[in-house]
Amino acid sequence: MEERSPRNLKAMLSESKDISELMVDLAYAALFFSDEHMASEVAELEERLSGLVHEMREVCVLAARSPRDAEQMSSVLHVISAIERMASAAVGISGIVTHRLGIPSALVADLAAAEEVSHRVRVREESAISQRPLSEVELPTKVGMRIVAIRRAKDWIIDPDGDEILLPDDVLILRGPPAGIPELRQLAAAPVWQPVGQVESPALTDLDRAVDVLVEMKNVSEVAIGLAYSALLFNDQSLAAEVSHLEDRLDEMRERLEVWVLRSAADQPDPSPLRGLLHLGFAAEELGDAAQQMVWLVENQEEMHPILSLALGESDEVIARIPVAPESELAGTTIAAEQLEMETGFYLLAIRRSGRYLYRPRGQILICADDELIASGPDEGQALLAERCGYLLSTDEDTGEIELVLSAS
């Protein structure tokens, strides 16, 4: 029997992080569009991730040749377990579609107004992006939206790379800020987008309250995951504490959700579609638990293997931590005015100001000189974000590490 050489652990960690995040994106898209084919792709990705997880655990065991090696490798195993938990939550979300549990139409309307939304658009032959590779189109840095999958005829292309050429009639499944949708559709030569209308009711019902709580749980759980990876990468206890705070909030929101769902069931002729709300609430809380599991290493000052920060730095979405220079164009402006996510592709997770964190900063919150922005996004957008903050990216010739150099302008 031919011996199989183990794969590079750093590459597998990066890939598993990317797959788990892709699963969550695809699961929410399947739910939003009620697409069973998309939901089935989540299950296939889970199989791929399970193989990776098994192989990574095998490599960790083989690499632990001393008690010190074992102690460091335990941190890697801990993160692998948290990534697996994230994937399980994604399967739970997609299961709402595959098991046809149903969700109220009010939730679909509210999800369209979430901080990050799913969107679907068909590429027209005459469009500016037709017959061009993704690397040239640069959607994340132009409109702030990233392609999760492409449906081409009856086939699915999941997590396409930069060499993939967009063809006429390709259907793109994307995730990003709602503000990027109009420009995206213009690039694809698609009709003007009409958002899903929200039905105005004279009084707030128990179902309305349940839906509002659930959308907030979705937003908070996604931020918690981003902050957890940031805490790991920077070994930052303050960030880890914020993740713990968000996880506590998710627990409280789940309890409120259950109360509102049970109360609203009394007003429904058929309460069975409400089951989807409870399943989605459980999945959002599970994502928060996965984030909490990751930061346990930081909170308890456990020794972490260097490969974790290396792997996190090489995934599809990188974590950036950039100070705001006093003379930069960002200093003294608001987040709403700058539209960082649309112009750089980076999602702002938190602002560190005077030793404290403002998580999920939005709208009219002021960006001040010496603030430190913590954001996640595509590697190609990192230089744009640094430039807006008043810095240039430079690579150290000796170490190969990326450094920030204050811009002369």
Segments of the chain assigned to CATH 3.30.70.1450 = 117-187, 316-406
Q: Which amino acid makes up residue 88?
A: S
Cα three-residue angle 253-257-263, rounded to 5 degrees: 145
Residue pLDDT, tens place only, 180-222 = 888 999 999 988 877 655 555 555 688 888 888 888 898 899 8
Strands of the 372-378 sheet, one edge to the other: 317-323, 372-378, 347-353, 356-359
Helix (H) or strand (E) holding 131: none
Nearest CA-CA partner of 177 in 387, 334, 30, 340? 340
**Residue 291 pLDDT > 90:** yes
pLDDT of residue 283: 94
Segments of the chain assigned to CATH 1.20.58.220 = 9-109+201-309
Q: What is the DSSP string of 180-203?
A: GHHHHHHHTTPPPP-PPPPPP-SS
Tokens of 98: 């595959």
| Residue whose token pair is 């609203």 | 264
Phi, psi of 279 (to 5 degrees): -65, -40
Strands 146-152 and 155-158: antiparallel
Burial environment of residue 333 by CB neighbours within 10 A (0 to 12, 13 to 18, 19 or more)? middle
* Highest mean pLDDT, choosing among 3-12, 42-51, 348-357: 42-51
Which of 61-65, 200-204, 324-328 shows the lowest per-residue confidence on average (mean pLDDT)? Answer: 200-204
Provide long-range contacts, Cβ within 8 A and 24+ apart, for 340-343.
340/375, 340/385, 340/388, 341/144, 341/176, 341/177, 341/179, 341/180, 341/377, 342/143, 342/144, 342/177, 342/179, 342/180, 342/183, 343/141, 343/144, 343/384, 343/388
pLDDT of residue 203: 58
| Residue whose token pair is 């705070």 | 245
Q: Is 172 left (phi over 0), alpha (psi -120 to 50) or beta?
A: beta
pLDDT of residue 317: 81
Distance of alpha carbon 98 from alpha carbon 372, whole angstroms:
42
Residue 294 in contact with residue 240, Cβ under 8 Å? Answer: no
pLDDT of residue 2: 44
**Residue 399 pLDDT > 70:** no
Write down the number of H helices and E strands in the chain.
14, 12
Hey, what CATH class is 117-187 in? alpha beta
Residue pLDDT, tens place only, 15-38 = 999 899 889 988 998 888 888 888
pLDDT of residue 1: 40
pLDDT of residue 295: 94
Which of 90-99, 121-130, 195-204, 251-260 shows the lowest per-residue confidence on average (mean pLDDT)? Answer: 195-204
Q: How far is CA 362 from the centre of its chain?
A: 17
CATH number of 9-109+201-309: 1.20.58.220
Distance of alpha carbon 35 from alpha carbon 382, whole angstroms:
33
> Is CATH 3.30.70.1450 correct for 316-406?
yes
Return all residues near 99 (Cβ < 8 A) that are at least 6 apart.
Answer: none
pLDDT of residue 204: 62
Give percent of the chain above pLDDT 90. Answer: 37
Q: What is the DSSP letter of 324?
A: -
Phi, psi of 151 (to 5 degrees): -100, 120
Summary mean pLDDT of the chain: 86
Residue 73 in contact with residue 60, Cβ under 8 Å? Answer: yes
Distance of alpha carbon 52 from alpha carbon 159, whole angstroms:
17
**Residue 77 pLDDT > 50:** yes
Looking at the DSSP assignment, which residues form a beta bridge with residue 317?
Answer: 378
Distance of alpha carbon 289 from alpha carbon 284, whole angstroms:
9
Return all residues near 282 (Cβ < 8 A) that are at least 6 apart.
Answer: 92, 254
Q: What is the DSSP letter of 158?
A: E
Q: How far is CA 207 from the centre of its chain?
A: 27
